[in-house]
Amino acid sequence: MTFKSKVALIRCESYDYDEVKKAVRKGINLLGGAGKYLSKGQKVLLKPNMLVGDPPEKCVTTHPSVFRAIAEAFRETGAALCYGDSPCVGSVEGAANKSGIATAAKIEGIEPADFSTPVGIFYEKARQNKKFVIAKGVLDNDVLVSLPKLKTHAFEKFTGSVKNQFGCIPGLLKAEFHVKLPDADDFAKMLLDLNMYIRPVLYVMDGIWAMDGNGPRGGNPKKMNVLLFSEDPIALDATVCRMIDINPEFVPTIKIGFEFGAGKYLPDQIEIVGDSLESFIDKSFDIERKPLTSYKPSGVLRLMKNSLVPKPFIVREKCRKCELCVNICPTNPKSVDWFNGKDNYPSHNYKTCIRCYCCQEVCPDGAIHLSVSPLRRILNKFLPNVA
């Protein structure tokens, strides 16, 4: 009999703490209980998604009620707990305070881990990236529990269980990977190497309220009423794809993760426990359902690449000129800058833009959207698997 990866789906319709706590206990118990994931005396790091310091109602970060319920479940095992993440902008402390995570941690008596000090590591088994610089707080603990948020993501299709560990790389060091790995598949391989080195013991995804549309920061709150639990990040992310009506093979971290042996994704390889998957399927979830494959033509068609890859552009009516897009741009020289002077708006130089969408990810007002060219639309229609 082939071993199946287990994914627990638990209905939870609000962030009322008692309701969340009940759902969390049910989900963890269906997988064997919190005590299953650690030995006596081990230290546990809780890794929520704290992309930026936004309030919980914006659905950018892991909700503090989910964080607190997981913390309480593991604290009752007698484990020493801490928490941390590295936001894309601002300080760790600021993101924790504004997202409500710091308050939830204080209630449970949990201190922040060191996510500011970088430590170099070498991962011999890596398929692509053997060297990483990781936050000291990750290495100081024995066990990591990953708490991702269900959101869309322009570069890797959606922010799932695998991508949550990217926050283990401190500060602006994350931007360097976008420069070195502008291809979505190569970036996914890096995320998988990182994930397989860190090896979280459990993933709990907050999908009570998710984010669709222009995620991972500028999208729309979307009520999904679900918490997801699994030891297999690929199986969990693939289950989410089926929930929001998208082919899991269109998400690089899932497709390549299966090839890397990081988890399973086919329906007959996954055992759903708890509530039924069918009860959560939402075909109205706003996400691009075309394949997210890199267009890698040869010869003269290579010159057309910039016309095929969606371009970030600034909606001036929404832009407040906060300059975050300029500051986060990883290219040198900047590909988004004050090219027309600060009396005007920032704009993009598409000749140097690597399409990493960091500017779109960090914009606090959802003022940066992606534009698909007419040529790309034609190829999507007639050659859907190559553009």
CA distance 209 to 142: 30
Location of each CATH 3.30.70.20 domain in the chain: 311-371
The residues of the chain that CATH labels 3.40.50.11440 are 5-280
Coil, helix or strand at residue 140: coil
For residue 172, what pLDDT is reported? Answer: 79
Question: What is the dihedral sign for C-alpha 369, 375, 381, 382?
Answer: negative
H-helix segments, 286-364:
305-308, 324-328, 358-362
Kindly state the tokens that stand for 186: 């190569």
- The answer regarding whether domain 311-371 maps to CATH 3.30.70.20 reads yes
The whole model's pTM is what?
0.93
| Helix/strand/coil for 349 | coil
CA distance 55 to 239: 27
Q: Which pLDDT belongs to residue 295?
A: 41
- What are the mean pLDDT values of the chain's consecutive 10-residue runs (387 residues total)? 91 98 98 95 97 97 98 96 95 96 97 96 96 97 98 92 97 88 93 98 98 97 98 98 97 96 96 98 95 53 61 96 96 96 95 92 95 63 50
Q: 5-280 is classed in which CATH architecture?
A: 3-Layer(aba) Sandwich (3.40)
Residue 23: its pLDDT value, please?
A: 98
CA–CA dist 324, 314 (Å, integer): 12
